[in-house]
A = this chain, B = another copy of it.
Amino acid sequence: MSAIPLTDTSKLCVHTITTKPWSVEEAMDKYAEAGVGGITVWRQWLEGRKISEVGDQLRACDLEIVSLCRGGFFPAATSQGLEDAIEDNRLAIREAAELGAPMIVLVCGAVPGQALDESRKQIADGIAAALPLAEDYNIRLAIEPLHPMYADDRSAINTMASANEVCDRLDHPLVGIAADVYHIWWDPDLAEQIRITGEKNRLFAYHVCDWMTPTTDLLNDRGLMGEGCIPLEEIRAMVEKAGFTGFNEVEVFSDRWWARDQDEFLTEIKKAYLNHT
């Protein structure tokens, strides 16, 4: 099964970290000029700015604000640590509201050596504690399952099934899933889990990039779509079949691409989006 080809960039969203050398001001100008439809803003890109003004600038550029990235990192060795994490997620919710972002991506967190089940419990508890404020501002919280190679210190939620389990436990219309191909492409249960996620109206976001062979760095060696081995068109077909009509968000962490001219990179992103996504 393959998806219908993408013929324009109206559903292309780029994460500010993808073009890391650019400030949010540069990024918005360049993205808008390139015809990119949406932007996901990483919180670091808002430092030192009046957030509501950045939101106004983005809207003036006709860029749809898809998400604020990222909240999460709930698990902690102490109850104070968990409380601090919840407070930071509440801050992220206020920032998203100020920016005009309807959603926050959650990288849920993990503590090396702490039992993953305990971390998963803390994640559910942490999200539950932040939910009332998310309701006040109507901000969606998207749990992003992270690749199992990040289970030590980045996320104890490593599969769609595991994310769905947390969603089931919380059972709230504002809690859903951000499906990122980098983290989930290998999963033998992927098609079924995406189907379930859609059926439960919780497929909130879809992120794309590619898996390089060899991968030389666990964090910053992602490929642009088409450079690697992920069956992107098949996974997009699953996502669309599950009812997803949102943006295809390009989230590439790559020392290799960051070292290149970013205007050229943005041109390559568009090509890769139209031909290999």
Chain A residues proximal to chain B, CB less than 8 Å: 112-113, 115-117, 120, 147-149, 151-153, 158-159, 161-162, 165, 185-188, 211, 213-216, 218, 228-229, 231, 234
Q: Which residues of B contact A112 (CB under 8 A)?
A: 213, 228-229
Q: What are some 25 contacts across the A-B interface (CB < 8 A)? A: A112-B228, A112-B229, A115-B231, A116-B186, A116-B188, A117-B188, A120-B188, A147-B149, A148-B148, A148-B149, A148-B186, A148-B187, A149-B149, A149-B215, A151-B186, A152-B211, A152-B215, A152-B228, A152-B229, A158-B186, A158-B188, A162-B188, A214-B218, A215-B218, A218-B218
**Looking across the interface, which residue of chain B has its beta carbon closest to that of A188?**
B162
Check if B186 sits within 8 Å of A229, measured CB to CB.
no
Task: Report A9 CB to chain B, min CB distance, Å.
Answer: 25
Q: Which residues of B contact A149 (CB under 8 A)?
A: 147-149, 215, 218
Copies in the complex: 2
**Looking across the interface, which residue of chain B has its beta carbon closest to that of A211?**
B152
Q: Which residues of B contact A216 (CB under 8 A)?
A: 218
Check if B152 sits within 8 Å of A213, measured CB to CB.
yes
Q: Which residues of B contact A147 (CB under 8 A)?
A: 148-149
Check if B161 sits within 8 Å of A188, measured CB to CB.
yes
Task: Report A196 CB to chain B, min CB distance, Å.
Answer: 16
Alpha-carbon separation in the docked complex, A40 to B98 (Å): 60
